[in-house]
Structure formats: structure tokens, C-alpha cells
Chains A and B, each alone.
Chain A
Amino acid sequence: MGQTISEKILARASGQETVKPGDIVTCQVDLAMVHDSSGPRTSGKKLDELGVPVWDMSKLVVISDHYVNLDDAAAKNVQDICDTWCETHKVQNFIRNQGICHIVLPQEGHVKPGMFCVGADSHSTTAGAFGAFMVGVGATEITGVMATGEIWARVPENVRMEVTGSLKPGVAGKDVILKICGDHGIMGFGYQVVEFCGEGVTNMSAQDRMTLTNMAAEIGAKTGIIAPDAKTVELLASWGVTGIDPAEWQSDADAVYAKHIKIDGDALAPQVAAPSSPENADDVGNYKNVKLNQAYLGACTGAKLEDLRMAAQVMKGKKVASGTRFLVAPSTVKMREIAAAEGTLGILEEAGATILPSGCGGCIGLGDARLAEDAVGISSTNRNFVGRAGPASSKLYLASPFTVAASAVAGEIADPRDMI
């Protein structure tokens, strides 16, 4: 019987020939990631309480991104704890304030196809875009990983999510995943692995695919994964990872899937998720006269270099509507630099964007992008739960970078296909 990529990775990590859904296995971890919130101040402290060292320092990556660039004492305290812990524990891979962990991690060359990774953050699923199996866990659980290098897992069932055809101009990976949220709900694939495939996925850029696996967390999946191909190899090479053979990590033709779902990529319209859940997604055309106080391009979901380029494509030569704030927080410092050098950022600034520092910020209601009382916003982030991006009275719509940009120009929710 054939195996899926996920099963091949879990079998390798647990030292078995093969595994099947439902098996409980103990896996050796190839990489563990924590950030400033889930790391030193929480799991780091717990590890010290156990009095044991990190099992393999070369396999731990600490990234500060949540409470960065904030002018308040509590956030500074979190940073101090992070800096001090990394220094005293001689953390080899401490990436300090360079952008959001899920993007920084592959960008700094830590992710490869076939790896079994855990991260103390729910969007750790993002690394699946590179053919790695990465799951999110809590702080105590990652303490166990840091101490022992292993973790128990129940081998999940696989779902084949096939995107047929090709996305039309103005439609992006974000629209695909919001459509899935809308059709299947935020727990649609509880405990399952969603394998994204099909022509629609191979036609997408390798960066845009990261949006699919990032939001695997919003459909209840254990993780998302995408078979690596030439585009994956090229993007990883640009991030300094070489010697990758994508053929090694592909699902077998006779692998078993619990479900096979098809999405018509050709027919897909831009999607918008209404407050207060990603599952409230619908075609952009169904949102009329939704006036916006704020549009935000940010997070690990929607501010990668490619996302900034999407927004620039819409905004070139246009202006942000008066009465709407347009804020852009590029996912990483490196991507911001490239976007600035190539003129992408200039186009956005010309249109009236305010560029904010790279970090989680507005996604979790911190910093300048926090929504005001009663404010209505649209954002390229992944969650719009009550109270996440601002006070409980604020309202947040989720959309692709194309749609966020078009809406910023219109001052209300707008279809980007009319502006490209």
C-alpha cells in the first residue's frame, strides 16, 4: 500500500517502515521553534525548572516577533527575558526581531522537505508549503520536546485537496483557503492532514502556497502539506538551502486518502470572511457598502514579498481613500528591504500607505495597527475572532492582499479584479 508524504515523514521520524492513521508513535524531532511569547518566558522557564539542557541546540530556533517594536514596559520585559535566556543558554539560532517566525524560519534556511518539525505556535503549519511536516503545540509540550527531542503523535488521516485549473488575475492562495474555510468550517478537518495539490497549486508561486498551509490552522487541520517541486527548490535555493531532491518527498500514486475534495480554481472569485470567523467567507461581490476605517497588510499570512507585490499591482497610480488608514507591516525585514529596493514599497507609499515595522503587531491587536473602538477593518491576516485585532466592539474582515489593497483604494470592500 502506498504512503502519503506525511506518512513517509512520520514513519521516518518514528523509525518505522510504514505508519497508518490512528497509530500512536513517538517521533524524533528534526527542528523545534519557539517565539518570544511561547519560548524563553514560558517554555524556557519551564525547561530551567526541569534543570535539563536543550536536547540538541543545533535543532532549536528562537525567533522574537510577537512583542517587538512596542513602546510599553510589559512588551520590553518579554524581550529582555528572551534576550537574556538566549544569551545564558548560548542559543545558536536566535533570530532577533527580523520578522514573523513562520516566514523567518524558512527564509533563514531552517526548513527542508521531509523534515519533522514542531513549533510552539498554531501557524507552524506554514512550513508544510515546503514539504515538511510541522505541527503547532503549546508551551509545556514544547518544553518536553526541548528536554527530550521527542513527542508523541497520533498518525492523522490525509485529505487530498485538489485545486483544478488556474487562479485568475486578482485571485490568490488566500482566496482558495478562505473558500475552504467557508465551505468546510473552522473545524472541517479536525486532526487530519490536508495535502494541497493539483494544477491550481502547482501554478501558484511557492510563496503564495505558504498562505494555504498557514491557514491549515483555520480549518482545524493538524497540519497542511504540499509536495515540493521545482518552484520550491528555487525559492529554498534563494534562501540558501541547496541539495534538495523533491522526488524524495512525494505521495505515492496508491496512497490512501480519507477524502478527495476538488476546488475549481478557474471559477474562484475573491473571497472575504466577515466578522468574526474565517468560516464566514463568501464571494467579494456579496459585500456591498461595507465602509472601512482601516486596511491592513500584515502577519505571517499576508505580507510576504509576493503579497506586497500583489497589493502594489492593484495600487499602482491610485490613492488610498480619505477616511481609511492603510497600514503595511512586511512579514520580514529582509522582504521589506527587497520590496523597497525593487520599488514595490514605493508604490504602496505613493498611494498613501504607512509602513510599520515587521512583527506580529496588528494581527494580535498590538501596536499602531490595533483597531480602535467600533472600527471596521479589512486585513490580509488569518483570524478575525472577537477581540483579536482590537476591542470587542471592532469588526474585522479577512481577504487577500489584492482585495485589501482594492478596498483601501475604494474605502469600502471592493473587487480587485476591477482594478487590475
Chain B
Amino acid sequence: MIQKGNAWKYGSNIDTDLLAPISALTAAKPEEQYVQCLQDVDPNFAKSCQVGDVFVAEDNLGIGSSREWAPQYLRSCGIRVILAKSFARIFYRNCFNLAVPALVCTETHKISMGDELEVDMEKGVVRNLTKGEEYACDTVPAHLMEMVNDGGLMEHLKKRFKKAS
């Protein structure tokens, strides 16, 4: 799978309280929820992110709670693939479960806000079209890619139970 989009670039230690603030979790309407994603870091993010964009961070992305709203809000904002030098493990699993592949890329510091990126998940390559650079990234393990292609764990389970019945 190849995903092309613009980079939203942040640093290290973006935690789940920043991605999914408690005020968003209790907001009545869905459209009042995901717009609060990252509001304490970059109020422009949720407003301007486009479908297909790439979320880029440095170390420890998604540290904190198990709240799945963190990757879910990123997805609602339009993010379709995430690159970071390292991920918190629950966040990492949540990303795949919600069909937003999370890939380790050790060179994310070379990426700037707004760079146009092309992420080849099968080959494990990130092409920075703005800067004319290429970086290596993780490939997605087969059992997870199957789930992502199904549209996430829920769709994957639906398929499994349909087969069984």
C-alpha cells in the first residue's frame, strides 16, 4: 500500500492526553470531539489536516493511556499513516486495530511540517518529494497488513465470524 500526503510534523512525547483530551471524550457530538485533537500543541492541526495526510513525530509517540480515541481522532482528522522513531505499545496496537498503520522510521527528524511524503508500506520506504530524500521505515508484518487491508480489527473480526457461521 502506498500513501501520499502532506506531513504534520511534531516532536517527542506527544501523549494520549494531548491527542485525545478528557474534554473531548465527554463532548456530546462527534464533531466536537476530534477537533480537540492536539489543540494544546497546534490548534491548526485538526482544522487544516486533509484526508490522506501523514502524521510524523519523533520519540515516544502515544505515551499515556490506552484510550483508543488517540488514533481514532487522528484518523477522523484525515491521517492515514503515522511515522515516528518510537511508539508506546498500546498506541501502536491501537493504530493498526483502527487501520492507521504506524511505522517506525528513525529519520523523522529530517521531515519538516508540510513536506509532501509518499510512504510505501510494503517496501518500507518514505519518499520526501519536497526535499528529494528517501528514508527507510518499517514494513508492516503480514498478520497486521491483512487486518489493515480488511479495514481494521473490527472488520477483520466480522469477516472471521461470517466465515465461521
A385 / chain B contacts, CB cutoff of 8 Å: 15, 17-18, 64
Contact flag A52-B161 (CB < 8 Å), given A138-B97, A187-B86, A386-B40: yes
Q: How far is the CA of A148 from the CA of B118 in the complex (A)?
A: 36
Question: Does any Cβ of A come within 8 Å of B22's Cβ?
Answer: yes
Q: Once the chains bind, are A137 and B66 in contact (CB under 8 Å)?
A: yes
Q: Once the chains bind, are A140 and B154 in contact (CB under 8 Å)?
A: yes
From B59, B143, B158, contact of A152 by CB (8 A): B143
A52 / chain B contacts, CB cutoff of 8 Å: 161
Q: Once the chains bind, are A122 and B161 in contact (CB under 8 Å)?
A: no
Question: Does any Cβ of A come within 8 Å of B152's Cβ?
Answer: yes
CB nearest neighbor in B for A383 = B64
CB nearest neighbor in B for A151 = B93
Q: How far is the CA of A388 from the CA of B25 in the complex (A)?
A: 12
A213 / chain B contacts, CB cutoff of 8 Å: none
Q: Once the chains bind, are A387 and B63 in contact (CB under 8 Å)?
A: no
A187 / chain B contacts, CB cutoff of 8 Å: 59-60, 63, 86, 88
Question: Does any Cβ of B come within 8 Å of A42's Cβ?
Answer: yes
Question: Does any Cβ of A come within 8 Å of B157's Cβ?
Answer: yes
Question: Does any Cβ of B come within 8 Å of A186's Cβ?
Answer: yes
Q: How far is the CA of A37 from the CA of B69 in the complex (A)?
A: 11
B89 / chain A contacts, CB cutoff of 8 Å: 190-191, 220, 222
Q: Per-residue 0/1 for A63-82: is the Cβ within 8 Å of any B Cβ (1 yes, 0 no)? A: 00001000010110010000
Question: Does any Cβ of A come within 8 Å of B94's Cβ?
Answer: yes
CB nearest neighbor in A for B98 = A140
Q: Per-residue 0/1 for A187-227: is the Cβ within 8 Å of any B Cβ (1 yes, 0 no)? A: 10011000000000000000000000000000010100000
The majority secondary structure among interface residues of chain A is loop
Q: How far is the CA of A138 from the CA of B65 in the complex (A)?
A: 9
Interface stretch of the complex, out of A43-51, A164-172, A234-242, A285-293: A43-51
Residues 86-109 of B contacting A (Cβ, < 8 Å): 86, 88-90, 93-94, 97-98
From B21, B98, B153, B154, contact of A387 by CB (8 A): B21
Q: How far is the CA of A174 from the CA of B158 in the complex (A)?
A: 43
Q: Once the chains bind, are A24 and B143 in contact (CB under 8 Å)?
A: yes
Q: How far is the CA of A67 from the CA of B143 in the complex (A)?
A: 36
B25 / chain A contacts, CB cutoff of 8 Å: 37
CB nearest neighbor in A for B164 = A52
How many B residues have CB within 8 A of the partner chain? 34
A388 / chain B contacts, CB cutoff of 8 Å: 17, 22
Residues 16-33 of B contacting A (Cβ, < 8 Å): 17-18, 21-22, 25-28
CB nearest neighbor in B for A142 = B66
Question: Does any Cβ of B come within 8 Å of A147's Cβ?
Answer: yes
From B28, B63, B97, B158, contact of A186 by CB (8 A): B63
Question: Does any Cβ of B come within 8 Å of A246's Cβ?
Answer: no
Q: Once the chains bind, are B94 and A50 in contact (CB under 8 Å)?
A: no
A120 / chain B contacts, CB cutoff of 8 Å: 66
Q: Per-residue 0/1 for A250-287: is the Cβ within 8 Å of any B Cβ (1 yes, 0 no)? A: 00000000000000000000000000010000000000
CB nearest neighbor in B for A191 = B89
Q: Once the chains bind, are B66 and A74 in contact (CB under 8 Å)?
A: no
Question: Does any Cβ of A come within 8 Å of B139's Cβ?
Answer: no
Q: Once the chains bind, are B13 and A122 in contact (CB under 8 Å)?
A: no
The smallest beta-carbon distance between A366 and chain B, in angstroms, is: 7
Q: Once the chains bind, are A140 and B66 in contact (CB under 8 Å)?
A: no
CB nearest neighbor in B for A51 = B161
Q: Once the chains bind, are B157 and A50 in contact (CB under 8 Å)?
A: yes
A74 / chain B contacts, CB cutoff of 8 Å: 26-28
The smallest beta-carbon distance between A306 and chain B, in angstroms, is: 25
Q: How far is the CA of A46 from the CA of B18 in the complex (A)?
A: 25
B66 / chain A contacts, CB cutoff of 8 Å: 38, 120-122, 124, 136-139
Q: Per-residue 0/1 for B58-79: is the Cβ within 8 Å of any A Cβ (1 yes, 0 no)? A: 0110011111100000000000
Q: Write 7 A-B pairs (CB below 8 A) sorted by A numbering.
A: A51-B161, A72-B26, A122-B65, A122-B66, A143-B153, A187-B88, A386-B40
Question: Besides the contacts A137-B66, A140-B97, A387-B40, what 18 more A-B pairs have beta carbons closer than 8 Å?
Answer: A38-B67, A67-B26, A74-B27, A74-B28, A78-B26, A122-B90, A136-B90, A138-B93, A139-B68, A147-B161, A152-B143, A186-B60, A220-B89, A385-B15, A385-B18, A385-B64, A386-B18, A388-B22
- Chain A residues packing against B (C-beta within 8 Å): 24, 37-38, 42, 46, 49-52, 67, 72, 74-75, 78, 120-122, 124, 136-141, 143-144, 147-148, 152, 186-187, 190-191, 220, 222, 277, 364-366, 383, 385-388, 392
The 3 lowest CB-CB distance pairs between A and B, nearest first, are A138-B94, A138-B68, A74-B26
